[in-house]
Amino acid sequence: MWILFAFGSAVFAGLTAILSKIGIRNTDSNVATAIRTVVVLLFSWLMVFIVGSQRTLAGVSGRSLLFLILSGLATGASWLCYFKALQIGDVNKVTPIDKSSTVLTMILAFVFLGEKITLLKAGAMLLIGAGTYLMVHKKKEATSGVTGRALSGTDREQTGGITGETTGAGPKSNLWMVYAFGAAIFAALTAILGKVGIEGVESNLGTAIRTIVVLILAWGIVFATKKEKTIKEIDQKSWLFLILSGFATGGSWLCYYRALQTGPASVVVPIDKLSIIFTIAFSYFFLKERLTVKSTAGMVLIVAGTLSLLL
């Protein structure tokens, strides 16, 4: 059953990326993250009361609470990095790097959770790593190829329509990559800390507790950067997609932590990362972002490496 929940998490996560990309086009990424977290919090606590797990809140151990809080902090940091990367980069660039957290998660699961790295898992890690490199490397070439000249309509389409960041010279042009790798690192930490924290805790309740931490972190950063004033400037379309992305995130989290509670982290996380298929499919149909041949080959390697973990 945990496999079904893991795949459900992947579907909702794929929707999250696209809905969020549309929602943050005219919105500060930190403000967007904070708004989405409010929706996730309401959704997660609603599920807690539906299943009646609020009655077990008093029985949560101090150790579990500590790791859930740490997991929430890692999640908040991952989100802030991820949605900043989405705002200034192409979905098809950001997503592969974010999903590369699979490899780091398997390594951390081996070190801290004692989950074995078999020959099959090692092969899967190589496939996922190679696939990520192919997707990101080709995109960098495609971007640099249009640097220094006026972008045609096709060029703008292939770079996600974001010309300021993707065509500028210097570090700024690759800033999305820094945020994307930050998101991947914190996502891996989230999985390991969440795996420990969710032990002995009803999964919906664990998700709800973590979301409180993410909410505090997200809004703390908004007020620290004085971006709360921009909330009134958000248009109706952005509000709609941010709210929808919050519901998609809530669905993904509930499935993810239900799967993580009973399944091995080194397998649950890779299945969840199959959301790359849905993300790229949605980005093709709704954002008109296309994959090159090399990028497609990279995606195939990532999927093959992930699916091999189910054998």
pLDDT confidence of residue 157: 33
Report the distance separating Cα 88 and Cα 302, nearest Å: 24
Task: Tally the domains of the chain.
Answer: 1
pLDDT at 129 over 80: yes
Tens digits of per-residue pLDDT, 249-292? 888 988 988 888 888 877 887 788 778 788 888 788 877 878 78
Whether the full predicted model's pTM is greater than 0.75, yes or no, is: no
Report the distance separating Cα 89 and Cα 172, nearest Å: 11
**C-alpha pair distances (Å), 154 with each of 146, 149, 151, 238:** 11, 13, 8, 25
pLDDT confidence of residue 137: 64
Tens digits of per-residue pLDDT, 65-105? 999 999 999 999 998 998 899 888 888 788 888 877 878 88
Question: For the CA atoms of the chain, what is the radius of gyration?
Answer: 19
CB within 8 Å of 77: residues ≥ 6 apart: 182, 186, 217
Q: How confident is the model at residue 173 (pLDDT cuts 50, 70, 90)?
A: low
Tens digits of per-residue pLDDT, 177-197? 999 999 999 999 998 998 889
Report the distance separating Cα 121 and Cα 94, nearest Å: 24
Location of structure tokens 């490199």: 133
Q: Which domain covers residue 108, as residue numbers? A: 2-308
Instruction: Say if CB 17 and CB 235 are below 8 A apart.
Output: no
